[in-house]
Amino acid sequence: MKLWRKTTVLFLCICCGILLYCKPKANPTFEKDIAPIVYQHCSNCHNPNGIAPFSLLTYEQVKKRAKTIAFVTKNRNMPPWPADPHYSSFVGENILTQNQIELFQKWLQTGCLPGNLSKAPKTPEFHYKSFLGKPDLVLDFKDTLFIQGNRLDKFYIMKFPFELDRDTFVKAIEFVPGNTKVVHHVNGHIIQYETGKKTNIYDGKHIVSSESIEAEELYKQLHVANDDGTYPVLTQSAINYLPGVLPTLYPEGLVGTRIKKQGAVLFKDIHYGPSGRDTFDLSRVNIFFTAKKPKRIARELQMGTLGITDIVPPLVIPPNTVKKFTTQAKINKDISILTINPHMHKLGKSFWAYALKPNGDTIPLIKIRDWDFNWQYFYTFKKMVKIPAGSIIMVEGVFDNTINNKMNPFHPPREVSERAGSMRASDEMFQFIITLLDYQTGDENISLEP
């Protein structure tokens, strides 16, 4: 064969190889093609202990829903990942490739072939109501909480006391919602009792409706104070939950929280969205200890609603409009960002945040093109992001108060505003929470993959 013919044949072979590799196989099977995708991208939520309403573990379970699966994966509704992966990327990013999406389509069209099921990858097991494995301590509601179906928001303060055998460190705290249809948010703190300061940490009420009661009266009813009437130390925002939030876990020993052996988790507060029918909730808190003393203590910068920066213009969204708002924060000393959380309610349409460096360069933080109220993750960067002193963090949110927005709580649309930081789901919020450290040399090379 002449050399040029040899080269052409080789070239054609490579092209065919690439085509075959990129094009979904003619007859995909559960064994070879579908199970690996489902186990990697779906089963951690779709299992009997997970947050999704049904399991995707066995051939039968996946086959039964093959049609809906083909639909929701094509629309990129599942797996849920609102952040634009071309703008910035995060730990645990869960996105299907175009090829994987087409495999689901093909599998459906060719009759959901099982393949040789005995050779399929091992079905993953999920033994705990947790994303992180076996919790060291579980604090749960003593009893189910009744939620009246009167279409009103409900707010409670709850106290979950605990006693350990010594002071220790916590590497992760996870809130696991019982009833995901109504749990809207949790902001949780840790009460730290100094040894000998309180005789009975279990004293007082454990749950109080927080509507129209002053904080002081609430604390009285919960018997939060020490025996002598002074207040214990409160570690703020140790747990945050919003719809769809998964727990944040940093590498062992990097950042964490110290806890005293006597303490309590304090929800201040837990918010249930409106429900049209009577229902119940039985949520829980999982705590994961670590023997390693964390090297650094993270803190939060909260922008926008209830935060340190103003929203421009003030957050008022007239009916039948799509309107843009911004909020900015000047950073005075070098910081390292670990995690960010964009937050809006049901009129949210898009969210964009970046940092503008003093030299005019931008550092991308997050872009969400289609805001999804149901998935409000705390996004952890793969490596810490350094923001140099003098930078400005710019946040832009667009809200859609027209009938085109399927989530609009009002028909016809009404004026919706922030109402002094009201957390009701029918009021709006525009908030950006940043978890950060003071910058240290080399931070930008530290991986945050747990």
Q: Which residues bind ligand HEC (CB under 6 A)?
A: 41-42, 44-46, 51-53, 65, 68-69, 72-73, 78-80, 94, 96
Please report how close the Cβ of residue 169 comes to ligand HEC at its closest, in angstroms.
28
Nearer to ligand HEC, 68 or 97 (CB): 68
3-state secondary structure of 4: helix
Please report how close the Cβ of residue 149 comes to ligand HEC at its closest, in angstroms.
18
Distance between CA atoms of residues 149 and 397, nearest Å: 32
Please report how close the Cβ of residue 52 comes to ligand HEC at its closest, in angstroms.
4
Distance between CA atoms of residues 211 and 162, nearest Å: 26
404 and 111 Cβ atoms separated by less than 8 Å: no
Please report how close the Cβ of residue 56 comes to ligand HEC at its closest, in angstroms.
6
Nearer to ligand HEC, 51 or 356 (CB): 51
Tokens for 158, please give them: 């709850």
Nearer to ligand HEC, 43 or 309 (CB): 43
3-state secondary structure of 307: coil
Distance between CA atoms of residues 216 and 251, nearest Å: 38
Nearer to ligand HEC, 68 or 109 (CB): 68
Distance between CA atoms of residues 192 and 162, nearest Å: 10
Please report how close the Cβ of residue 14 comes to ligand HEC at its closest, in angstroms.
31
**DSSP H or E run through 63:** helix 59-64
Please report how close the Cβ of residue 258 comes to ligand HEC at its closest, in angstroms.
30
Distance between CA atoms of residues 305 and 309, nearest Å: 8
Nearest CA among 371, 412, 401, 80 for reference residue 245? 80
Nearer to ligand HEC, 78 or 315 (CB): 78
Nearer to ligand HEC, 104 or 288 (CB): 104
β-strand partners of 156: 209, 270
Distance between CA atoms of residues 300 and 437, nearest Å: 9
